[in-house]
Amino acid sequence: MNLVERFFRDLTVDCIRDGSFTSTKELVASIEAYLQDRDLSPKRYVWKAEGQAILEKIQRSRAAIEAKANT
C-alpha cells in the first residue's frame, strides 16, 4: 500500500467512518480538525521494504502477465 492510500485509510478510520455528518460543511470541518490535530503530532511512516525486493516482485509480476498474455 503506498503512502497516499495509507493516509486516506487513516483519515477514513480515524475521522470519517464513525462520524455522523448532517452536511458537507460539517464533514469538511471534521476533516480539517483531524488534519490540524494530526499536524500537532506528526508520525513518520517508515518504509520497511528493501528496494531490491520490490524490484524483484515487479519483475515476477511482469513475467506472469506476459506469460498469461501469450497463452
CA distance 28 to 55: 39
What digits encode the pLDDT tens for the residues 2-52? Answer: 788 988 999 999 999 988 899 999 999 999 999 999 999 988 877 788 889
Helix, strand, or coil here: 64? Answer: helix
Nearest to 11 by CA among 56, 30, 20: 30
Note the pTM of the prediction, 2 decimals. 0.58
What digits encode the pLDDT tens for the residues 49-70? Answer: 888 998 999 999 999 999 989 8
CA angle 43/46/51 to nearest 5° reads 160
CB atoms inside a 10 Å sphere around CB 16: 14
What integer pLDDT is reported at residue 70 of this predicted model?
87
CA distance 6 to 46: 12
Nearest to 16 by CA among 40, 2, 32: 32
